[in-house]
Amino acid sequence: MLEPEKQVLLAHGGGGELTRRLLAERVLPKLANELLDPLTDGAVLARPGGRICLTTDAFVVQPLEFPGGDIGRLAVCGTVNDLAVMGAAPKALSLALILEEGLAIATLERIVASIAATAAEAGVVVATGDTKVVERRGGDGMTITTAGIGELPDGLELGTGTIATGDAVLVTGAIAEHGLAVMSARKGLSFRTELRSDVAPLNGLVGAMLAAAAGVRFLRDPTRGGLAGVLADLAEQTRRNVEVEEDAVPLTPVARHTAELLGLDPLTVANEGKVVAVVAPGDAEKVLAACRAHPLGRAAAIIGRVGERSDWPLVELLTRAGGRRVVQRPYGEELPRIC
């Protein structure tokens, strides 16, 4: 028997008095701001000073709470980071919750509080939202979809179009921690306390990188598909080979060990607090220094370079042992429901 004060009921999604009370008592007080509070059909934002960037992500991570974060922090960071790597300053988010009947109200409240805290950390406002309820299932609890808008300064054009042979490939810190932390929590592994998700809002770090030098050509956050996925995209879109030194890729011993235990290649594991950048060779050291001066970029490293044009562009890893191996985009389901 479900209790309406302790658990989410299907009736909480009907759009009536119970919906109004759930939001008014449990959700809105934590997110309060002048855009959201009127509870109109949408939020009105001032006329922006640049072009508009629009992005969205759906989050289905299991478990909802994991070492270093939760689905709420993940949702805010995922959308903020997508805007940041476009070069846009994140301004406002929308928040759509799909709750499963039976979800503990206390869990909902913790996750909404985490959303509010992460939005404040990133300097964005949760401007509008929607809540629905679906029947009880496997006890998944909730999915969150955020969309975000940011302002893109006129003249800033990041992308693969200007990438040239010799450009440096940089990553802002140790890889694979988000995916490994979630997988460890899911499997109940004993070392799970040591490994924490890197989930963090990257707009501050990206701002520092862009301010450091004009030669930043391309930015991407290596989430699903990991570093390997971003490098494969880079090669495919630029029609150039990409060469990466295995030894240069930041990876903590605990992450390396965990990946080995789980049988995963860290290159394909999701990150939620890292950026891959392609930078003109003359500016690479400046951008690296800017990263290292930022709390979220202390372990940044130049990991490789963009090679020649090719009809069959490849990502090659120069291995620790002195060999070469081709890095491929992961095929399918290595890590389902990681974000």
Residue 5 engages a second copy in binding (rule: CB under 8 A) = no
Among 7, 27, 55, 69, binds a second copy (CB under 8 A): 55
Q: What is the DSSP string of 118-177?
A: HHHHHT-EEEEEEEEEE---SS--EEEEEEEEEEE-TT---SGGG--TT-EEEESS--SH
Q: Which of residues 243-272 bind a second copy (CB under 8 A)?
A: 268, 270
Residue 186 engages a second copy in binding (rule: CB under 8 A) = no
Q: Which of residues 9-48 bind a second copy (CB under 8 A)?
A: 9-20, 38, 40-48
Stretch in the footprint of a second copy (CB under 8 A) among 91-99, 111-119, 276-284, 312-320:
91-99
> Is the previous residue joined to 63 through a cis bond, with omega within 30 degrees of 0?
yes
Cβ proximity to a second copy: between 13 and 72 the closer is: 13
Phi, psi for 327 (deg, rounded to 5): -95, 125
Question: What size, in residues, is the chain?
Answer: 339
In the complex, minimum distance from the CB of residue 88 to a second copy, in angstroms, rounded to a whole number: 7
The residues that bridge with 15 in the sheet, in sequence order, are none
Among 28, 60, 120, 261, binds a second copy (CB under 8 A): 60
Residue 59 engages a second copy in binding (rule: CB under 8 A) = yes
In the complex, minimum distance from the CB of residue 293 to a second copy, in angstroms, rounded to a whole number: 25
Residue 128 engages a second copy in binding (rule: CB under 8 A) = yes
Cβ proximity to a second copy: between 107 and 143 the closer is: 143
Q: Which of residues 277-336 bind a second copy (CB under 8 A)?
A: 329-336
Cβ proximity to a second copy: between 62 and 286 the closer is: 62
**H/E/C letters for each residue in 186-247?**
HHCCHHHHCCCCCCCCCHHHHHHHHHHCCCEEEEECCCCCHHHHHHHHHHHHHCEEEEEEHH
Q: Are 275 and 202 in contact (CB under 8 A)?
A: yes
In the complex, minimum distance from the CB of residue 39 to a second copy, in angstroms, rounded to a whole number: 9
In the complex, minimum distance from the CB of residue 29 to a second copy, in angstroms, rounded to a whole number: 18
Stretch in the footprint of a second copy (CB under 8 A) among 58-66, 186-194, 254-262, 277-285:
58-66
Contacts of 62 (CB under 8 A, 6+ apart): 140, 182, 186, 337
Among 132, 186, 286, 292, binds a second copy (CB under 8 A): 132
Residue 238 engages a second copy in binding (rule: CB under 8 A) = no
In the complex, minimum distance from the CB of residue 324 to a second copy, in angstroms, rounded to a whole number: 21
3-state secondary structure of 290: helix
Q: Which of residues 95-124 bind a second copy (CB under 8 A)?
A: 95-98
In the complex, minimum distance from the CB of residue 171 to a second copy, in angstroms, rounded to a whole number: 16
In the complex, minimum distance from the CB of residue 280 to a second copy, in angstroms, rounded to a whole number: 20
Question: How many whole angstroms from its chain centre is CA 264?
Answer: 20
In the complex, minimum distance from the CB of residue 10 to a second copy, in angstroms, rounded to a whole number: 5
In the complex, minimum distance from the CB of residue 103 to a second copy, in angstroms, rounded to a whole number: 14
Q: Give dist(CA 220, CA 53) in Å, integer.
A: 15
Secondary element (H or E) of residue 183 = helix 177-187
End-to-end distance of the chain based on CA atoms, in angstroms?
31
Q: Which of residues 192-231 bind a second copy (CB under 8 A)?
A: 220-221, 223-225, 229
The pair of three-digit structure tokens given for residue 89, joined into one six-digit string: 């300053």
Our CA angle for 109, 135, 40, nearest 5°, is: 55
Among 133, 168, 264, 306, binds a second copy (CB under 8 A): 133
Q: Give dist(CA 315, CA 308) in Å, integer.
A: 11
Among 80, 86, 112, 275, binds a second copy (CB under 8 A): 86
Total of chain residues touching a second copy, rule CB under 8 A: 82
Residue closest to 197 by CA, chosen among 176, 212, 218, 167: 176
